[in-house]
Chains A and B, each alone.
Chain A
Amino acid sequence: MKKTGAQIIVECLKKEGVDTLFNYPGGAILPIFDELSNAPIHQILVRHEQAAVHAADGYARASGKIGVVLVTSGPGATNTVTGIATAFMDSIPVVILTGQVPTLLIGNDAFQEADIIGITRPCTKHNYLARDVEDLAQILKEAFYVARSGRPGPVLIDLPKDTLINPTEFKYPEKVFIRGYQPTYEGHPGQIQRAVKLIMKSKRPILYVGGGIISSNASKELTLFAERLGIPVTMTLMGLGSFPGNHPFSLGMLGMHGTYRANMAVMESDLLIAIGSRFDDRVTGKIEAFAPQAKIIHIDIDPTSISKNVRVDLPIVGDCKRILSKMLSLLEEEDIHSFKEGLNKWHHQIEKLKVVHNMNYEQKDIIKPQYVVEKIYELTKGDAIISTEVGQNQMWAAQYYQFIKPRTLLTSGGLGTMGYGFPAAIGAQVAFPNKLVIDIAGDGSFQMNSQELATAVQYQLPIKVAILNNRYLGMIRQWQEFFYGKRYASSSLEGVQPDFVKLAEAYGAIGLRVDKPEEVVPTLKKAFSISKPVIIDFMVDPEENVYPMVPAGEPLNQMRLV
């Protein structure tokens, strides 16, 4: 029996095990919505297409599955672009299905036409224009494969309306073979052996790990490896949770707002073992001065990440999990005992670095944002899923919440997208209805996607939004204070903000306001006990800064501590 394109798409989604769609309808895409009305797929209607992609991205990060988005042509498609670029920069598997005007109208400036293939070419891992219904099943199969394999990323499929209506025989391909796309998973055995030898010769090694550990599900292997050899671990923002933040070997995050001990340890290290991390400028600071004494081993699934920003002494292309497993088995033949003894001095050196209290604040009569984050951690014991917005809130969340398990931090690390956290929390809560999901937000960022309160209320998603409300675009204000002579152009929101409590109530959510430090814990407890979306408006110190800070372009050891 023949099926229409729309029916084929729904069948393909079922074959791929898709049970949730983040969507927003429109004229060009209606044939699929029509088919979905009786399909066993949970549909989450967002209130803006950008949020659909962030939600699918949050769903993917939290669950490890592919997030799927369905939107219409023209503005529906263009609204997804920031979400797609966010997922692309952080290597998150998302499949985006966009409607398109009928093939005959493409190029005619038709109503709600946009060249979304052209627009998203540089911010997708790959994209497809499905011009013929005959190709549809193959394209969907490939799209899901490309999104999840290798270095994961977003894949977009543009669906002209006639493709959705035309009928053909449906046959879902069993296998995918793309001759131009064959990711390397197994690391080169010789290189792995050489890496182990290099590690065994080092005296001051450090593991510098990133989001690649999380996307390859290699946390267990990483922890085993670090423990077996006694090597300290520092994580990038994207890597938080890949290694327990409360582990004695954890140095915390490195980089611009990294810990004193992590940054200093990198500068003093003689061997940097980079795994699933990419030497981002926010991590390295001044690149010429980065880890000056260290040889560098770089393990990454993406060959383009290697030697892009720094020279690498020993590259290994492949999957972090498989390579770590191989290295673990090679350790059997090494004299680990004397290696570990050789590290005693290094550990002693790092202990001394820990004495510098860089993460300190004084909780007096105004609520400190750091205090709120610390209390969220203490109350949840690190067992919640935390999303963040971008700016000071993001950095305080990274610094004061100890991420213990992978996939518990959802944050826009690469693109730095304000407005990401709340819709991402929606996606995570959809994936895990019974988990506590908290968006640590700023008052500026939250307003970039606050319309999604309607979505959270509609689907009874009990997300908690902790707004660290300093009435400023805080990170902007901080940069203006440090580098622009305290000229606070366009960064103050004092007196021009909505009442977040009333905003929550207007949507049918719960709003709570906290302005005294002693109310922080009781209010958090109260919020966590409510099975509805709750916004907690914490009126925090407006002029608090994020420390330590390495000014952009400075070496990592040039930290402002206060």
Chain B
Amino acid sequence: MRHVITLLVENEFGVLARVAGLFSGRGFNIESLCVAETLDPMVSTMTIVTRGDDQIIEQVLKQLNKLVSVIKVMDLIEKDFVEREMVLVKVSANSETREEILRVVDIFRGKVIDVGSKTYTIEVTGDEKKINAILALLKPLGIKELVRTGHVAMVRGSKASTEPGA
């Protein structure tokens, strides 16, 4: 099953290597990983998307918690949460497909951020389903390049999920 795990970690040398090394060393898989500083420059957030059965995910969470540099671990699957990913897509665009591409981009509330003589570069943000849906529509039109940021996620409601001690 797919799990979205949010970590608060010390913003220090080597912490990404500790987390990534834990996954590779113990044979857990990472589908995507995002890491950046929080409001507190001493702390970073990592959002990791992984898959596994209950026993594996329990180990993943416990092992992450065991790392000295990890302050907090949360499996968002247990909660109501929002998640977003951004993609940049370079699509072939000719006189026949330009209109169609723009329509698709408009429907998915994406943006054309660069135009070439034969391409559009599109920015789209959304959850996994939405991103997959637009990619499915653009694919037949000719995707030349695709870059995804990986997922970031946050618990719904007024409580801050990423506060240490929250």
Contacts and interface: CB of A to CB of B under 8 A. Distances in A.
Contact of B71 (A131, A179, A307): A179
B82 interface: no
Contact of A180 (B22, B55, B59, B69): B69
Given A129-B14, A179-B164, A121 B21 contact: yes
Contacts of B67: 180
Contacts of B71: 179-180
Contacts of A117: 14
A302 interface: yes
A129 to B, nearest CB: 6
Interface in B1-30: 9-10, 13-14, 17-18, 21-22, 25
Interface in A173-199: 178-181
Contacts of B72: 180
A122 interface: yes
A468 B9 CA distance: 50
B58 A307 contact: yes
Contact of B68 (A129, A178, A302, A308): A178
Interface string A100-130: 0000000000000000011001100110010
A121 B18 contact: yes
B65 interface: yes
Nearest to A304: B62
B55 A307 contact: yes
Interface residues of A, number: 19
Contacts of B25: 122
Interface string B35-50: 0000000000000000
B149 interface: no
Contacts of A307: 55, 58-59
A146 interface: yes
A308 B59 contact: yes
Interface in A235-258: none
B32 interface: no
Given A180-B9, A180-B68, A180-B71, 12 more contacts: A118-B17, A121-B21, A122-B22, A129-B14, A178-B68, A180-B72, A181-B68, A303-B66, A304-B59, A304-B63, A307-B55, A308-B59
Interface of B: 9-10, 13-14, 17-18, 21-22, 25, 55, 58-59, 62-63, 65-72, 164
20 contacts: A117-B14, A118-B14, A118-B17, A121-B14, A122-B21, A125-B68, A126-B68, A126-B69, A129-B14, A131-B13, A178-B68, A180-B9, A180-B67, A180-B72, A302-B66, A303-B62, A303-B66, A304-B63, A304-B66, A307-B59
